[in-house]
Structure 1
Amino acid sequence: MREAISPAKRLAVTLRCLATGETFSSLSYSFRISRHAISEIILEVCKAIYTVLKGNFLKIPSTEEEWHTIAKRFEDVWQFPKCIGALDGKHVVVQSPDNSGSYYHNYKGTDSIVLMALVDADLQFIYVDVGTNGRVSDGGVWNKTTLCQALMGNKLHIPPPSPLPGRIKPVPIVVVADAAFSLKNHLIKPYPENQLNSESRVFNYRLSRARRCVENAFGVLANRMRVFRAPIALSPKKVEHIVLASTVLHNFLRRQKTGRALYTPATLTDREDLGAGDVLPGQWCVEPAPSSMLQLRAMGSNNYATNAKAVREEYRDYFSTNGAVSWQQMFH
């Protein structure tokens, strides 16, 4: 019998695939393993990586103290209090399965599955949902996730409503998102362009500043995991395992003291020059956008409850009074 492929070699093949985006044929020549075996190895190892690492590196907080820690970090780093995450999603372009028709067709006319993610202030994924077919409206993908249902059903043990610093009116813990989502009590998004005055412009800037976490997280993921630079020629189910393994590896590398600077050097992500009022784009912004990761469309409804509108207005007033920073006028 021939010698079995060692675990170390299996891991090396998988990491090479994720990091470079090499085809199975190219990997076959490099590692002297058949293309068929490589396809099986990568799937098995991705499943194992996610299973082993998710418990420590990709889990939703389960106590108020853990949520407070995330919110405190957003307040310290991004000056956005009572925020427990930045939300966004991407269409990951895949190979359509046989006889699937238009089930996976997205608004660009390609086939995709949606990666929905909640990211903390340090560009780490708190929660990911992957696998919804690209045909589902982008705003509706979030409503289908287990996190959305748990958040709206008050099942996440998040802290109760309390006033913003220096304010009186209690507001709930919030998630920041863009125009692709609907305004909710726990989810706030920017004001439409046709409703902007000085205060709402400041609010939009401060919101987009906090949202930069999730934009940079996706940018780093696509820059370092080059498998996302081009459409992935695999079935949706196989791509799901690749995406999950990539996100948990991203968190693992972001938390390593010795490897973090190598994985995400300072020039890779956006930086701010507060003195000049400029945002210096990271390296991931300079490169052409990955053709395998498409942005969600702005389809969020403008119909929302009065309570949700009041929460956004309280944040708007806070950022123009108690929570104002000296440099916000330069940016907005």
Structure 2
Amino acid sequence: MATTPLCPRARMAQRRRILIVVAMLEAQEEEDAMRGRRRYGSYHDLVKELHLDEARFKAYFRLNKGQFEDLLRRVAPEMLKEQTAEPITAHERLCICLWYLATGDSFRSIAFIFRVGHRTVARIVRSVCRAIWDCLMPEFMPTPGKAEWGEIARDFQVALDFPNCVGAIDKKHIVIEALPPSGSLHLNNTGTFSIFLLAVVDARYRFRVVEVGAYERRSDGGGGTGTLTSSPFGHALHHDTLDLPGDAAFPGAEHLGTLPHVFIADEAFPLKKNLLRPYPGSSNNVGERKVFNNRLSHARRMVEYAFGMLASQWQLYRRVHGISPPVAETVVKATCMLHNFLQWDNVDATPDIPAETSLGMQNSHRLGSNNASREAMAVRERFTQYFVSPAGQVPWQDQL
């Protein structure tokens, strides 16, 4: 029997009633969860037990107790600005957020573990991640100036035998679930939904520049309006406004003249005056050009290791993110900041990188055209000449 379709006003009223019922059910769920929090919630049982065992505490929260207390002191005032249905201490909020980052469990799973509402978990994760980014940035990811870029270059020279290098750059797709309003906004060229993470890493595995945002599918060809140069960092690199140190000669190779300070990247990036990439193709991977590719690959592993450490430390990168793009951006930025917080003075650390791949973090594809300028090709050629000269060669450069 056919039913008479509802008029627009009736459909709107029906939708309003459904939303009211859903809101009432969720409010009841929050109330039921809060009622048993002190008796059954993990914070009032398991977390207190973990404080008695340093190794287990770090396994659950990825920070030791001293680091946890230091972080709490730095971010507590900011993260308490957002109210929840029932007063939840700054300590418990940080536990909930770190539990999510360390495990990648769903908000509903964590809500059950801590006996709070899943909407409360979502608000806590968002506000704590925002507080971590805002409060730690001045100390653990300050905007580099000429002096800081110079210090990074000295570290690359001493530790990795790559002169005039101010950072290794790479970009990853952070895979997210497609949400109804997204459309194709976050659909990348591999057919998955994602946001991007663009990062510059120094010779100590620390993130010095981080940009997170919606995926951009334009190319860098022609007008230079693609995924790299349309980002704030790429725009500054293109227009020479990063406050990099001036051109400098290589030690013992004054005959090559002065060369610019450069970032190093893989073949997905375009070749520019201040951005070096390998010589492409197997036909170029011989002789002097093979030496250049080996030396660049050896130095560029800093950014690969940093991403590997990030995915190993925070298990949410092992899964596809079931959160909205704005929340995903906040979460990703917070993990990068926490990475620096743990790594900043840990200069002798050797990264322990697992071999398995991360489901939630995937490699990026080409970020620009290969139509390099003559100036950019000349800069790469002069680096190549230095690496094969007596002043610049190292014993291992033919063995990689």
- TM surpasses 0.5: yes
On the 8 A contact 1:111/1:134 being kept in 2, the answer is no
Q: Is the counterpart of residue 293 in structure 1 residue 361 in structure 2?
A: yes
Equivalent residue for 1:311, pick from 379, 382, 386: 379
Secondary structure, in 3 states, of the residue corresponding to 1:126? strand
Matched with 2:396 is 327
Amino acid at match of 1:323: G
Equivalent residue for 1:266, pick from 342, 350, 371: 350
On the 8 A contact 1:112/1:134 being kept in 2, the answer is no
Q: CA deviation at 1:142?
A: 1.6
Q: Is the counterpart of residue 22 in structure 1 residue 99 in structure 2?
A: no
Assess, with a 3 A threshold, how the Cα gap between structure 1 residues 138 and 213 changes in structure 2: closer, same or farther: farther
Matched with 2:128 is 45
Matched with 2:213 is 131
Equivalent residue for 2:267, pick from 167, 172, 179: 179
What do the CA deviations read for 1:267-295 (whole angstroms, capped 9, x no partner)? 60xxxxxxxxxxxxxx32x2x21111110
Matched with 2:75 is none
- What pairs up with 1:89-238 in 2 under 5 angstroms? 89-133=171-215, 135-137=217-219, 140-167=226-253, 168=255, 169-193=257-281, 194-238=283-327
The alignment covers a number of residue pairs equal to: 309
Q: CA deviation at 1:256?
A: 4.9
Instruction: Write the distance in 1 (CA, Å) between the matches of 2:131 and 2:271.
Output: 37
Q: CA deviation at 1:98?
A: 1.9
Amino acid at match of 2:237: L
Matched with 1:274 is none
Q: CA deviation at 1:46?
A: 0.5
Instruction: Write the distance in 2 (CA, Å) between the matches of 1:123 and 1:65.
Output: 19
Assess, with a 3 A threshold, how the Cα gap between structure 1 residues 77 and 11 changes in structure 2: closer, same or farther: same
Matched with 1:247 is 336
Matched with 2:47 is none
Secondary structure, in 3 states, of the residue corresponding to 2:227? helix
Secondary structure, in 3 states, of the residue corresponding to 2:322? coil
Amino acid at match of 1:37: T
Amino acid at match of 1:223: S
Instruction: Write the distance in 2 (CA, Å) between the matches of 1:309 and 1:243.
Output: 35
On the 8 A contact 2:294/2:398 being kept in 1, the answer is no
Assess, with a 3 A threshold, how the Cα gap between structure 1 residues 149 and 298 changes in structure 2: closer, same or farther: closer
TM-score where L is the length of structure 2: 0.74
Q: Is the counterpart of residue 31 in structure 1 residue 114 in structure 2?
A: yes
Instruction: Write the distance in 2 (CA, Å) between the matches of 1:31 and 1:12.
Output: 10
Assess, with a 3 A threshold, how the Cα gap between structure 1 residues 73 and 256 changes in structure 2: closer, same or farther: closer
Which shifted more, 187-196 or 85-94?
A: 187-196
What do the CA deviations read for 1:121-161 (whole angstroms, capped 9, x no partner)? 00100001101325455993221121222223222221111
Secondary structure, in 3 states, of the residue corresponding to 2:228? helix
Instruction: Write the distance in 2 (CA, Å) between the matches of 1:99 and 1:42.
Output: 22
Assess, with a 3 A threshold, how the Cα gap between structure 1 residues 173 and 143 changes in structure 2: closer, same or farther: same
Secondary structure, in 3 states, of the residue corresponding to 1:328? coil
TM-score where L is the length of structure 1: 0.88
Secondary structure, in 3 states, of the residue corresponding to 1:117? strand
RMSD: 1.9
Amino acid at match of 1:24: F
On the 8 A contact 1:13/1:38 being kept in 2, the answer is yes
Q: Which runs of 5+ in 1 are unaligned?
A: 269-282
Report the identity percentage. 39
Matched with 1:83 is 165
Instruction: Write the distance in 1 (CA, Å) between the matches of 2:323 and 2:204.
Output: 31
Q: Which runs of 5+ in 2 are unaligned?
A: 1-30, 32-84
Assess, with a 3 A threshold, how the Cα gap between structure 1 residues 5 and 65 changes in structure 2: closer, same or farther: same
Stretches of 4+ aligned residues off by more than 4 angstroms: 136-139
Matched with 1:272 is none
Amino acid at match of 1:293: M
Amino acid at match of 1:142: L
Pick 1 or 2: higher relative contact order, CA cutoff 8 A, min separation 6.
1
